[in-house]
Amino acid sequence: MLQIPNNNFNPGNFAKSHIIIHGTAGGSSAIEIANFFKGTEGGNNPVSSHYIVGQDGLVVQCVQENNGAWANGSPEWNNKGISIEHVKSATDNSSILTPAQQAASFALQKDICDRHSIPRSNILPHSAVYNTACPGPFPWDALTAYLKGGKPVNTVPTTNQVTAYAKRWNAIRQDCIISSGIGKAWVQDYINGVYHGPPMSLEYPSIDWNGQPIIVQEFMYGWCEWQNGVPHWYKGS
């Protein structure tokens, strides 16, 4: 673990009860993001996080755990939550974790949970505590399995997995784009053992209950609503 500290934090010996998961929405390395945080010291928008996990698996610590890093959106959540940024090069946070990044993040979270007695239910996406699309796709099912003693699910599909999911994706129609945000989320869920069935429609624009724009795609066992870089899956027909 590399230390690149900065002064963007609330000092104190705060009890930690949660882990808050973030995506950087840009950037190429944990060191780059850590230096960016440090560069905001004394500015109009100083920002920071306790940890940053790079796509190469490098973990950088910017703020000591007992202090409150300024990533979670409110003093309460900054002080009681340990924030972990994950480098995602896509500016809409649609990037999925690399295998090295996932392994490093899972190990870090388990260590934090063990030391602070934090249950899995208290590991939350940033979107759960603040109005944001952060962190985007994250392997939550694989994290749960890992914390129960399993092994991390590899986010890079094997040759057999590629053959299997391509066949299932194209089972009904062959004109749906698997490389879209919804398609990538479908693939990641398939790899993690969650199957939504083949697509039954192309993606199409719609609005949610609040009148906000979304992209929808229908599947055999439900549908997906894509909003601000985050997939929301619903069961049904």
57 and 85: one domain? yes
Distance in angstroms (rounded) separating the CA atoms of residues 232 and 123: 18
Distance in angstroms (rounded) separating the CA atoms of residues 104 and 38: 23
131 and 214: one domain? no
Other Cβ atoms within 10 Å of 176 Cβ, number: 20
The mean pLDDT of 149-168, rounded to a whole number, is 73
| Residue 49: CATH number of its domain | 3.40.80.10
86 and 196: one domain? no
Assigned token pair, 206: 């719609």
**pLDDT of 154 above 60:** no
**152 belongs to a structural domain:** no
181 and 231: one domain? yes
pLDDT (tens digit per residue) in 88-97 = 999 999 888 8
Range name among 75-84, 96-105, 142-151, 169-178 with the lowest pLDDT average: 142-151
**107 belongs to a structural domain:** yes
208 and 168: one domain? yes
Domain assignment of residue 65, given as a range: 2-147
Residue 38's pLDDT is 96
Domain count, the chain: 2
Among residues 112, 147, 182, which one ends one of the domains? Answer: 147
**153 belongs to a structural domain:** no
**67 belongs to a structural domain:** yes
103 and 199: one domain? no
Distances (CA, A) of 196 to 87, 169, 188, 222: 28, 10, 11, 7
142 and 195: one domain? no
**154 belongs to a structural domain:** no
220 and 142: one domain? no
pLDDT (tens digit per residue) in 7-65 = 999 999 999 999 999 999 999 999 999 999 999 999 999 999 999 999 999 999 999 99
**pLDDT of 3 above 60:** yes
Distance in angstroms (rounded) separating the CA atoms of residues 220 and 1: 44
**Interstrand relation of 222-227 and 213-219 (parallel, antiparallel or unpaired):** antiparallel
229 and 121: one domain? no
